Structure 1
Amino acid sequence: MLLFPFLYLTLELPKRIINDAIGAAQNVVVVFGVPLSQTTFLWLLCGLFLLSVLGHGLLKVRINTMKGALSERMLRRFRYLLVTRLFRFPKPYFQRTSQAEIVSMITSESEPMGGMMGDAISQPVLQAGQMATILMFLFLQSFWFGLAAIALIPLQAWLIPMLQRRINVLNKARIGEVRKLAAEIGETAAGTPTLRTSGAHSYRSAMVTHRLGRLFFIRLDIYRKKFFMKFLNNFITQLTPFFFFSVGGYLVIRGNVSLGALVAALAAYKDLSAPWKELLTYYTSFHEMSQRWTLITDRFAPAGMMEDGLFDDPPETIGRLTGDIVFDRVSARDVDGIPLVENLSFTIPGGGVATISCVTPEERQVISELLTREIVPSEGRITIGGRDLASLHQAEIGTRIGWADSAPYLFAGTIDDNMMLALKSMGRVGDTELPELAMERLEATRSGNSTVLLEDNWIDPARLGMQSLSDVRAWWLDIIEGMGADRELVRRALGLRIAAQEAPEVAQHLVDLRDEVRVRLDGDGLLSTMRPFEHETYNKAVPLLENLLFAAPSEPVTQRELAEHNGFLPLLRAVDLVAEIAEVAQAVTDLLHDTFGADGTDHPLFRRLGIDQTDFDATLRISNRAKSDGLSGVSDEDLALLLALPCLLAPDQVGSFVPWPCRIRSLPPVRRCRRTLPNACLSFTSNSTRPAFLTVCRWWRTCCLVWSIRTSENALIFFSRPSPRSWTNRGSSQKSPPSA
């Protein structure tokens, strides 16, 4: 309500400035008994006008900010309710409704509803109040001004809603088509292999074309009606200034109204059109969002939903389900009413192990889902220890009933997150809380979301009869080993990259393994296979450039990319190795050309080197030209391409066939002379942030697994072991290679 007085002042003061200050009959103006000069009075009114505009603007900023916060909280609450209702849906619902359609309803379709939720009360009150304030000002200036301002409002109030109802019908059809399109896109993505192998992709493309065509013509009709409605609205709105100029000008000429009052009335009507348009927009949006609300809520209220009480307010203690499992004349039907199982009656003694034999796999699946309450019996009841399964809280079922599926669903995240998922049924707020979490919890409470946050304690070791999370981890590892999945997890882990800043403990543990690796290899007589990456030693297991930089690339680098880097050639010139590396490059190109010939670059052994065929042909021509004309006759671009070839190859890849100059093998790493390098080279010599990485080098002479661990002094330890192809499967009489 504080906004409306400021709005009235912004309308009244311009009239006072024109009539009472600028158009004053005398040089002295008396204001509340105080005489003021005409200039002083003008500045006083202008200052009050500026303060009124400032106060009006700041209040609107505050109101709009609060509306935005309310909109986001209501949208957050609405989306949270939709997601939580999914937990109560019957399983057959998901078989008939695509995931893409559900995602579209929760995200894109509900997005515009947030603005309407914030504007539901404030927008009509604010805009109607502003409109009433402006109309009051117009009537105070002249009755005819006010009458002219409202003359065409009834026509707009009747015409615009009538046209909007027709648009709403088309919007409903558009939403339905968008949902069907989302479902077809989801089916296409899931069934792409089948469409390719069956050759039905063309038919599927025609189906999508049909759906897009229907959507196009619906939207085209919406555009025609929508912009015609806007044209009519704008035309009617512009008719009112016609009356102001004609009737108002006539009244000014007759002397019935002052010129300042006419100017103020024109400015006021200009301000009047804005809230009136906002009210019309609110009306159209309200009906559109009401229709959208009905479409969404109808889809999120399917038949057979579980009750709220089975999911809300979990019990403080989870009781144990002990006793017999009794099926008492249990029948189950699908959504179409077709019987799945009928009149099942049997008892599974408590504490025993039972095997249920069924004719079809579908019957076994139905019985399993009945025991986990994924399917609710249409007739009869299931009891466990005398307790009705239909009345148990979901927390009790999730905690006390285990279900092992042959093909479990893996959620996005780590393997640990998925393995520990069954232990995270109830979260607990910690004793101490950071201020950021307190604010997040407060906003979650205001929005009606879960007050237990993701950062809270979700695993309770006491529920498992353990003392700490370390005991839980140890138990988890025992399960992994019992499943026989430990070696597979280790193999996958060795192929991953980690960032030291994200997992400092893991990085430190990997560094601490250096000594243990050396001891294990020495004990197994395999120390000779280890090649330490030391400051003063040239490591033959890694490429030349990695030896010079004492670093490893964070991603694969091709010969062309390395040659085009603006710091590559200056680096080699700074350490005065251009001639030596060019000699190695010519020897390598000759060896590869003699081995594979002119047309053998598509050989699998050549492709293992990672050399592009086109780049190698260009390098061969550059090498031949350098032999005849010398390096001085080669451009910098060609020289960089020639030198990049040996820099990406390790001596062990080409063996003893290529002589590596002693100056290269005895050169201290470039990092020791970093301060003397040009600035263009610094991008090559920056420290790597990866504490550990795994590189699989498949060479044409040998296949060697190289594991590197970055030390605190930026040293790398490499050790290699024979090709996995020489190992035998588990259970073989031959000795398997040791694991480090």
Structure 2
Amino acid sequence: MERNLLKFIWQNSRLKQVWLLVVIVASMPLYFLTLELPKQIVNGPIQGEGFSAAGAEQPFLRLPLPFAEQVFGREIVLFEGFSFDRLTMLFALGLLFLAAVVANGAFKLYVNTYKGKLGETLLRQLRYTLLDRVLRYRVVRFRNLKGAEAASVIKDEVEPLGEFVGDAFSLPLFLGGQAITGLLFLFLQNFYFGALTIAIVGFQVWIIPRLRRRLIQLGRQRQLQARRLSGQVAETVEMAPDIHVNDISNYTRARHYGLLTTILDIRFELYQRKFAVKYINNLLMQFLSFLFYVLGGYFVITGRLDIGQLVAVIAAYKDLPGPIKGLIDYDQIRLINEARYEQTIDSFRDDGLLPAEIQQMPGEAVPRLRDGFRAERAKLEDETGRVVLENLHAGIAPGERVAIATGGNDAARIAAGAFCAALARLTSPVSGTITLDGKPLDDLPESLTGRRVAYVDAGTFFPSGTIRDNLTMVLKNQPAGFEKKMTPPTPPKGSGGLLHDAPPAETLDWIDLKALGLADRRAFDRHVAAVLDLAGLSRQIQDLGLRGTVDPEHNPAFCDKIVEVRREFRDNAAGFGVAGIVEPFDPERYNAQAAIGENLLFGTARAPGWELDALATNPVLLAILDRHGLRERFLEMGRRIAEARIELFGDLGPDSKIFETVADVSYEEVARLKEMMARLRMGRQAKEQPAPRRSKVGAKALSDREELLRITFNYCEARSRFGVLDAETESDILAARANVREAVSELEGAPVFFHDPDLYNPTATVLDNILLGRVSSSVVDGREKVLAAVQELIARTGLSDGLLDAGLDFEMGNGGRRLSETQRQKLHLARALIKKPDIIVFNEVLGALDAASRQATMRQLLDLPLLEDENWKPGMLAVLLDDELAGRFDRVLVYRNGTLVEEEPDEIAKRTGDDAGEAADKEEADDDAHAE
């Protein structure tokens, strides 16, 4: 990319810059007019020059041809103008001055708007170019690249360049034009004023940039340190668990504080020098102002200058410091942005970028592999640069199953991992060749290797998004039906390295069903379900679907079916073995398995003010409680519940295991209850001593009385059994429930969705919609039994696909952290399978699973075809974690003498079985010896 910022800007916006220059030049006469007209107004109509005689008139808008007397020897008038008397001339000149000011302002508005759009357009292209370079880095570059630092450069550091782009050429011309126009006007009024101004301004232009050189260096240092800070903060976030586990939070603080102190020192020196330069600059301009007032006054008093000229001179000088200061500031801004731009280019300089052609979108179907991989005399290194494989001769063909047995040997595992990474193009051989279908692997387009080869390892990072987004991301290679062969983004000649071609829109359909061999969207859904089942994820995603919500407007058929399943579940509870485990919601009965607040609402909240923790401050609900005499009873119940919890758990320490088994009580909760009850015993009012608890993050703190109500609303007698709820109170709660329904129905927006056996509740989970009740807390493993029954019923009624679809919309969180490690590894596997590659490379996959589950999944993967309906038989290369599976492969490679050599699969399996038997015998002998 072009290193000189001004050349870079000119190469990418020359036509627009020229147009800006034309507009600015066209605005200069108007600017001169705004300086000239005040003098004419003061000298003419106001002081009466030329209007001394009664009824005298003067021409308005008279236009003589410039320099006509010098060229033609006489004055030539283009337009005689209009003759006005003194008062009319005052208004005419005033209106002309106003029109000139408005027109001049309109020019500025247009220029500034145009510059802004130009700058933002070029900034977008620059960021896009830098992102393109990141996408073309070789994988080895990413090992030393901090994502936060790259993001900081692209997002923040290049931001000021967008503001500078529009000013790069137009601002010096605009300010210079204004300055020259002002100086010319000063010379026309008085030669000495003009010469004096040029002398002072010239000294400023000479001295100020020299004083600012150190500012450029400091600005560069500040930028580098800020980039380091961004990287450190990102590292801290990523390693937060290690920081807490190893008690290094204080060292981390010290590390951050040291860097912040360095930034402070740089910024403080920067401010000192910046304002010192500003002081000197302002002092010089004020000194010139002093000379103008003193000399101008002297010339007026001595009759060498009239008062109108002095006013015009002072007005012109008043506007002059802005352009002059702007030009001086422009020079500093230019130097700062040039340094920033050079640093950006250096940060993204990489001579080893992948050729743009490798990431080209093909205009035709990507062919299937014929011969597969072949390594000849290949030498491979690990990440440290150490040679781990030499003189490697190996290969794998489509449909062939090859294993690498490591026997748990670290050297063998590292070598096998390096081979797998080389096949996935994550590394390149130091010498020798690796070919795919007879062509060097590094020369092949990513459209071939990315779609026909899959690579799975233990890595499990996923970007934020739903499971569906992350699962199908690998299928988004190019828009469906995009037959035109699209060349990769390449900088046009003379662009300074900047890309201008925009990629296809993100909103297009990027999943090509035809390339997958699928007829329609339903076939694709079946393919997704089959892949998830193969990876062992179907049941877990369905469980996520049960815990999720579904919008009836988007999927009405599924929601209607859930209502039918609800009825069948209730009618056939005995057949599923869950009779009496679920207590259904009945409008005429109190649900003993639900909390008091749930019974009172008899529905789920749609608005924050109606959620369970917020009911204690809900004025509508509190009024209904007062009407039924329930508020004071609830307060008393809250006291009894708090005292019971203090009595049961008050003497336990913070590390007591009991707190782990009780869902709604913690050590901090008990400590807070003790403080609250102590205040209440002393008779303090709630408003004087608010309880240090918030119903939700950001909500106001609850008073002690409100906290007692909150405790009561969340209390369930069947779970806690403190004996605070009697039949009379239950009856009153049922009576209040009817009033709640009446009151809520009159409110705008329906803040509560009431339980209805015939309606789907969009605010409740799918599981709660099926149960429409609460699982009994007195039945051992009651919830597990209910879940099993629900899954059986869903499978029987054909709702598995809908539930799977709901689970696929589960948000995974940053890095996929809302899923477990085993779930992430399974999703990584499913993502490789979903694109139906010709060869799959398994590099020690599913290590987070137990051996039995891992082996069961691998056996299922080794049964060809993988997906029976689609007759898909890919080749496989697997680095085994369990050598017992070696016998199921066509060939087995083992690590010997620094390379991989072939060995009989049955021999590996037999040796592994013998080793396992010897280990078992040795363990049994050790146990016997220990017993003796």
TM-score normalized by structure 1?
A: 0.82
Q: Is the CA contact 2:370–2:397 (under 8 Å) kept in the aligned structure 1?
A: no
Deviations along 1:208-257, one digit per CA (max 9) or x if unpaired, are 33323322222222222222222222222223223322333333334333
Q: Which residue of 1 aligns with 2:220?
A: 172
* CA spacing shift, 1:268–1:653, aligned 2, 3 Å: same
Q: Which moved more, 1:600-609 or 1:2-11?
A: 600-609
Deviations along 1:267-326, one digit per CA (max 9) or x if unpaired, are 112212112222212211111111111112112113422122222454443233321422
Of residues 475, 478, 486 in structure 2, which corresponds to 1:426? Answer: 478
> How far, CA to CA, are the matches of 1:654 and 1:22 in structure 2?
94
Q: Is the CA contact 1:578–1:643 (under 8 Å) kept in the aligned structure 2?
A: no
* CA spacing shift, 1:247–1:302, aligned 2, 3 Å: same
Give matches, 1:5-24, under 5 Å: 5-24=29-48
Of residues 145, 154, 159 in structure 1, which corresponds to 2:207? Answer: 159
Deviations along 1:57-78, one digit per CA (max 9) or x if unpaired, are 1221121111111111111111
Give matches, 1:107-118, under 5 Å: 107-118=155-166
Q: Is the CA contact 1:331–1:339 (under 8 Å) kept in the aligned structure 2?
A: yes
* CA spacing shift, 1:321–1:668, aligned 2, 3 Å: same
Q: Is the CA contact 2:479–2:509 (under 8 Å) kept in the aligned structure 1?
A: yes
**Structure 1 letter corresponding to 2:624:** L
Corresponding position: 1:660 with 2:727: yes
* CA spacing shift, 1:184–1:724, aligned 2, 3 Å: farther
* CA spacing shift, 1:584–1:78, aligned 2, 3 Å: closer
Q: Is the CA contact 1:330–1:382 (under 8 Å) kept in the aligned structure 2?
A: yes
Of residues 714, 720, 730 in structure 1, which corresponds to 2:775? Answer: 720
Q: Is the CA contact 1:332–1:341 (under 8 Å) kept in the aligned structure 2?
A: yes
Q: Is the CA contact 1:74–1:447 (under 8 Å) kept in the aligned structure 2?
A: no
Q: Which residue of 2 aligns with 1:281?
A: 329
Give matches, 1:618-697, under 5 Å: 645-650=711-716, 652-653=718-719, 657=723, 658-661=725-728, 662-665=731-734, 669-674=738-743, 686=752, 691-694=762-765
Q: How many angstroms does 1:724 deviate by?
A: 9.3
Q: Which residue of 2 aligns with 1:699?
A: none
**Structure 1 counterpart SS, 2:772:** strand
* CA spacing shift, 1:605–1:618, aligned 2, 3 Å: farther
> How far, CA to CA, are the matches of 1:349 and 1:428 in structure 2?
29
> How far, CA to CA, are the matches of 2:261 and 2:566 in structure 1?
65
Deviations along 1:403-428, one digit per CA (max 9) or x if unpaired, are 12222321110011111011001125
Of residues 561, 566, 570 in structure 2, which corresponds to 1:517? Answer: 566
Q: Is the CA contact 2:58–2:83 (under 8 Å) kept in the aligned structure 1?
A: yes
Q: How many angstroms does 1:599 deviate by?
A: 6.4
> How far, CA to CA, are the matches of 2:775 and 2:742 in structure 1?
29
* CA spacing shift, 1:709–1:93, aligned 2, 3 Å: same
> How far, CA to CA, are the matches of 1:143 and 1:274 in structure 2?
22
Q: How many angstroms does 1:667 deviate by?
A: 5.5
**Structure 2 counterpart SS, 1:552:** strand
**Structure 1 counterpart SS, 2:57:** strand
Corresponding position: 1:577 with 2:625: no
**Structure 2 counterpart SS, 1:540:** coil
> How far, CA to CA, are the matches of 1:605 and 1:354 in structure 2?
47
Deviations along 1:632-671, one digit per CA (max 9) or x if unpaired, are xxxxx88766665544334544669532223433555224
**Structure 2 letter corresponding to 1:388:** P
> How far, CA to CA, are the matches of 2:445 and 2:184 in structure 1?
61
**Structure 2 counterpart SS, 1:380:** strand
Q: Is the CA contact 2:378–2:434 (under 8 Å) kept in the aligned structure 1?
A: yes
> How far, CA to CA, are the matches of 1:159 and 1:52 in structure 2?
35
Of residues 177, 192, 202 in structure 2, which corresponds to 1:144? Answer: 192
**Structure 1 letter corresponding to 2:508:** D
Q: Is the CA contact 1:480–1:486 (under 8 Å) kept in the aligned structure 2?
A: yes
Measured on the aligned residues, the alpha-carbon RMSD in Å equals: 4.0
Give matches, 1:237-636, under 5 Å: 237-332=285-380, 339=387, 341-356=389-404, 359-428=411-480, 448=500, 450-497=502-549, 500=551, 504-506=553-555, 509-525=558-574, 526=578, 528-553=580-605, 562-573=615-626, 576-578=627-629, 582-583=632-633, 586=636, 597=647, 600=650, 604=659, 608-609=663-664, 613=670
Q: Is the CA contact 1:536–1:669 (under 8 Å) kept in the aligned structure 2?
A: no
* CA spacing shift, 1:339–1:20, aligned 2, 3 Å: farther
> How far, CA to CA, are the matches of 1:57 and 1:674 in structure 2?
59
> How far, CA to CA, are the matches of 1:675 and 1:450 in structure 2?
52
> How far, CA to CA, are the matches of 1:182 and 1:213 in structure 2?
15
* CA spacing shift, 1:668–1:521, aligned 2, 3 Å: closer
> How far, CA to CA, are the matches of 1:656 and 1:185 in structure 2?
48
Of residues 750, 769, 782 in structure 2, which corresponds to 1:709? Answer: 769
Deviations along 1:192-221, one digit per CA (max 9) or x if unpaired, are 433444444444433333323322222222
Q: Which residue of 1 aligns with 2:262?
A: 214
* CA spacing shift, 1:262–1:343, aligned 2, 3 Å: farther
Q: Is the CA contact 2:605–2:753 (under 8 Å) kept in the aligned structure 1?
A: no
* CA spacing shift, 1:281–1:447, aligned 2, 3 Å: farther
Q: How many angstroms does 1:164 deviate by?
A: 2.1
Among the aligned pairs, what percent are the same residue?
26
**Structure 1 counterpart SS, 2:604:** coil
> How far, CA to CA, are the matches of 1:686 and 1:214 in structure 2?
55
**Structure 1 letter corresponding to 2:773:** F
Corresponding position: 1:50 with 2:76: no
Q: Which moved more, 1:273-282 or 1:553-562?
A: 553-562
Q: Which residue of 1 aligns with 2:847?
A: none
> How far, CA to CA, are the matches of 1:473 and 1:415 in structure 2?
14
Deviations along 1:78-130, one digit per CA (max 9) or x if unpaired, are 11211221122122322223222222212221222221222222222222222
> How far, CA to CA, are the matches of 1:724 and 1:484 in structure 2?
30
* CA spacing shift, 1:648–1:244, aligned 2, 3 Å: same
**Structure 1 counterpart SS, 2:554:** helix
Q: Which moved more, 1:591-600 or 1:511-520?
A: 591-600
Deviations along 1:536-556, one digit per CA (max 9) or x if unpaired, are 444333333333333334679
Q: Which residue of 1 aligns with 2:890?
A: none
> How far, CA to CA, are the matches of 2:610 and 2:267 in structure 1?
48
* CA spacing shift, 1:216–1:654, aligned 2, 3 Å: closer
Q: How many angstroms does 1:557 deviate by?
A: 8.9
* CA spacing shift, 1:598–1:654, aligned 2, 3 Å: closer
Q: Is the CA contact 2:377–2:392 (under 8 Å) kept in the aligned structure 1?
A: yes
Q: Is the CA contact 1:74–1:118 (under 8 Å) kept in the aligned structure 2?
A: no
Deviations along 1:334-378, one digit per CA (max 9) or x if unpaired, are 798654544434343454222345643332232222212222334
> How far, CA to CA, are the matches of 1:291 and 1:211 in structure 2?
22
**Structure 1 counterpart SS, 2:260:** helix
Q: How many angstroms does 1:394 deviate by?
A: 1.8
Q: Is the CA contact 2:370–2:437 (under 8 Å) kept in the aligned structure 1?
A: yes
> How far, CA to CA, are the matches of 1:127 and 1:343 in structure 2?
69
Q: Is the CA contact 1:707–1:720 (under 8 Å) kept in the aligned structure 2?
A: no
Deviations along 1:549-586, one digit per CA (max 9) or x if unpaired, are 3333467999996444444432323xx3115x655765
Count of residue pairs brought into register by the alignment: 688
Q: Is the CA contact 2:222–2:266 (under 8 Å) kept in the aligned structure 1?
A: yes
Q: Which residue of 2 aligns with 1:634?
A: none
Q: Is the CA contact 1:586–1:623 (under 8 Å) kept in the aligned structure 2?
A: no
**Structure 1 letter corresponding to 2:625:** L
**Structure 1 counterpart SS, 2:403:** coil
